A and B are shown apart, each in its own frame.
Chain A
Amino acid sequence: MYHFKDVVMEELDQLIREAGMERTPDDFTATVMEQIMPLPQPESVSPVQIPLWFKIFMGSIFAGALLLVFYATTGSSEATGGSGGLIAQGTGYVTGAFSLLSAWIVQQVWLLPAFLFSLAGILFLLVRDPQYDHGYA
């Protein structure tokens, strides 16, 4: 007496293999080719090549925009004076780092990740900035 419960995994594997493949009808290839022949000829599409100079240009714009934010924040810190400059300096370093990384990402990866990264940097500053302004106003 043989029961399926006696089937060890290896035997089950063998059974699955033995179940074999399904066969398409005899005229399958002809049917597919009949539908393919009237279709337009497929053409090789090479991926869009972005010129390096354009990437660097866009990277500079991102970096420049973020540097403006950086100067704006440090400027307000200097105007108010006091020991808050330390925090402002920290913010500036972070902004500078964001700027450089943003430019690098644009050159390495492309626009969308750099945009998101820049946005994250700006959001970071918006969150940080009011905090230290409140302290020295």
Chain B
Amino acid sequence: MKDPEIIESVLAGNREDFALLVERYKDMAYTIAVRMLGERTEAEEVVQEAFIKAFSNLGTFRRESGFSTWLFRIVYNGAISRLRTRKRTLSGEVAVMEKLATDEPDYIESEERDFRKQAVLWGIAQLKPVDRAIITLFYHEERSLREIGEVTGLHEDVVKMRLHRARKKMKKLLETKFRGELSNVSL
């Protein structure tokens, strides 16, 4: 069943069909939230709230964009709101940085593939929350620049520029931080 059909069904009173939309988009929504907030519990709350908000406002959804774009925008705004209000006691970046500290033995000895993944996640965590969302939407969801603009409220050209800068920054950060530590790794 396609998204518009599910929406019609939910609006017609079959609210259990909303579970289909939750199943379809929960992981991507969660990925955006985790990348932006750097904290799983908080990200889960944000995504739950986003789904509830989407359900409550489903009648006002104008369908000018896709449901997922609309949902991700709610998630994005929820994450931005959390970032504004929460105290910076142990931010996501700090948590990830601590986990990925270069003197941590488990990290150095971890599997090659997992190590690269952790290194890239560390790189993403160093970016600004907006750029993390852009990177996530672009690479994992393969959204167009226009759709990313709809989610983030930024102009397409701004998204393109931020994406380019974020990639360059990540490359530089990874080069600096992991120089000499990735021996015998091939891509």
Which residues of A pack against B, CB within 8 Å? 1-5, 7, 9, 11-25, 28-29, 31-33, 35-37, 39-45, 47
Q: Which residues of A contact B57 (CB under 8 A)?
A: 42
A13 and B26 within 8 A (CB): no
Contacts of A3 in B (CB 8 A): 175, 178-180, 182
Tell whether A21 pairs with B27 under 8 Å between CB atoms, given A3-B182, A33-B16: yes
- B116: Cβ under 8 A from any A Cβ: yes
Are B184's CB and A2's CB within 8 A?
Answer: yes
Alpha-carbon distance between A14 and B13 when the two chains are bound, in angstroms: 43
Identify which of B44-52, B85-93, B95-103, B148-156 touches chain A. Answer: B44-52
Q: List 19 A-B contacts (CB under 8 A).
A: A2-B187, A4-B178, A4-B179, A12-B167, A16-B120, A16-B135, A19-B121, A21-B27, A22-B40, A22-B43, A25-B44, A31-B48, A32-B26, A32-B52, A33-B19, A35-B48, A36-B51, A39-B56, A44-B59
Q: B10, A24: Cβ atoms under 8 Å?
A: no
Q: How far is the CA of A29 from the CA of B26 in the complex (A)?
A: 8
Residue of A7, A36, A39 with most partner-chain B CB within 10 A:
A36
| Contact of B51 with A1 in the complex, beta carbons under 8 Å | no
For residue A39, which residues in chain B have a CB less than 8 angstroms away from its CB? 52, 55-56
Q: Determine which residue in A22, A25, A43, A44 has the highest number of CB atoms from chain B within 10 A of its CB, and name it.
A: A22
Q: Which residues of A contact B180 (CB under 8 A)?
A: 1, 3
Is A32 a contact partner of B175 (Cβ separation < 8 A)? no
> B67 → chain A, closest Cβ, in Å?
13
> Is B124 located at the chain interface by the 8 A CB criterion?
yes
Q: Beyond A7-B171, A15-B187, A36-B15, list 18 extra A-B contacts (CB 8 Å).
A: A1-B183, A2-B184, A2-B185, A3-B175, A3-B179, A4-B182, A5-B175, A9-B171, A12-B120, A12-B167, A18-B113, A19-B121, A25-B44, A28-B26, A33-B19, A35-B52, A39-B52, A41-B13
